[in-house]
């Protein structure tokens, strides 16, 4: 059967994560319900990553096999029609080879975490960012983040419920940008790796926020990493600022 890759955007707020669960709203289940309106075989989809409750995506990727040979543009349009009014959109569909796998063919994943620092409550960005009240030092956070780049045992920054076979991962990039906003700053944390441990990004950002606030020194991040102990981690930040921002493939199906 023809196989298609889907590039997907969603607001994770209304969903209990990506993965389909009985009796719970999920992004996967929502898309599969839309597909069922188009395909009597009620196909299932496979995503590149399982985002947690409240986590968003600007470029999640999934693949699906369909009995009908669809024009990719018409497939995306039809899915978006049936997805309304849910906050899920198919940005692009592409025909792919039979051996393409959204998860196992991926060579990198990119995450964005948005943190807003200001005293006044956020209005337009409510549910889409993590807000802190006190100023943060950008250069200190960058200095702390530098200790995490490379291949390390990330046990400290791994959820106790993580099911990965090994805590050793290679973190290729941690970039922190800052943009002025009315009465405050938005800090954007960009992280890139082949794969991530459960809660790794939120654990890292929560720890770096403590560095920016002055509660930790930049060198304390290195000590926490070396401890290989979950108790040495800073606080895990909330999910609403986290976005799956891209999935890379050796042969990008959407180019």
Q: Give 111's pLDDT tier (boundaries 50, 70, 90).
A: very high
Same fold, 3-104 and 108-246: yes
Rounded to a whole number of angstroms, the distance between the first and last alpha carbons of the chain is 22
Count Cβ atoms below 10 Å from residue 182 Cβ, excluding itself. Answer: 6
The single-letter DSSP state of residue 237 is: P
pLDDT greater than 90 at residue 175: yes
State residue 162's pLDDT score: 87
For residues 77 and 192, give the distance between their C-alpha atoms in angstroms, rounded to a whole number. 30
Q: What residues are annotated to the active site? A: 52
- Residues ≥6 apart with Cβ < 8 Å to 69: 2
Is CATH 3.40.640.10 correct for 108-246?
Answer: no
**CB-based contact 18:31 (threshold 8 Å):** no
Question: What pLDDT does residue 42 have?
Answer: 84
Q: What is the pLDDT of residues 62-75, one digit of tens each?
A: 999 999 999 999 99
∠ CA(91), CA(198), CA(49), 5° rounding? 25
Residue found by looking up tokens 């493939």 in the block: 249
If you classify domain 3-104 with CATH, what class do you get? alpha beta
Choose among 11, 12, 28: nearest CA to 20: 28
Torsion angles phi and psi, residue 139, rounded to 5:
-65, -35
Q: What is the pLDDT of residue 123?
A: 94
pLDDT of residue 160: 84
How many angstroms separate the CA atoms of 32 and 20, rounded? 9
| Averaged pLDDT score across all residues of the chain | 96
Percent of the chain whose pLDDT exceeds 70: 100
Give the CA count within 13 Å in the CB-facing half-sphere of 38. Answer: 24
Q: Where are the domains of the chain?
A: 3-104, 108-246
> In which band, very low, low, confident or very high, does the pLDDT at 218 lie, cut at 50, 70 and 90?
very high
Work out the pLDDT band at 40, boundaries 50, 70, 90. confident
Burial 104-120 (b: 16+ CB within 10 A, else e): ebbeebbbbbbbbbbee
């Amino acid at each position: 059967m023809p196989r298609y890759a889907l590039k997907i955007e969603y607001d994770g707020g209304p969903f209990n994560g990506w993965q389909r669960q009985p009796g719970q709203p999920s992004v996967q289940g929502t898309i599969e319900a839309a597909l069922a309106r188009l395909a009597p075989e009620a196909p299932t989809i496979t995503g590149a990553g399982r985002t947690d409750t409240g986590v968003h995506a600007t470029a999640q990727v999934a693949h699906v096999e369909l009995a009908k040979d669809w024009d990719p543009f018409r497939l995306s349009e039809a899915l978006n029609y049936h997805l309304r009014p849910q906050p899920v959109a198919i940005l692009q569909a592409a025909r792919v080879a039979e051996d393409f796998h959204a998860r196992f063919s991926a060579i990198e994943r990119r995450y964005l975490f948005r943190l807003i620092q200001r005293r006044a409550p956020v209005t337009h960005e409510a549910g889409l960012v993590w807000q802190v009240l006190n100023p943060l030092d950008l250069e200190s956070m960058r200095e702390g983040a530098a200790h995490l780049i490379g291949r390390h045992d990330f046990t400290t920054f791994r959820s106790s419920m993580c099911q990965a076979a090994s805590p050793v991962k290679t973190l290729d990039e941690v970039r922190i940008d800052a943009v002025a906003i009315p009465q405050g700053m938005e800090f954007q944390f960009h992280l890139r790796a082949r794969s991530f441990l459960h809660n790794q990004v939120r654990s890292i950002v929560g720890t770096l926020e403590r560095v920016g606030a002055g509660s930790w020194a930049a060198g304390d991040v290195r000590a926490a990493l070396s401890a290989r102990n979950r108790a040495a981690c800073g606080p895990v930040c909330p999910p609403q600022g986290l976005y799956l921002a891209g999935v890379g493939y050796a042969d990008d199906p959407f180019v």
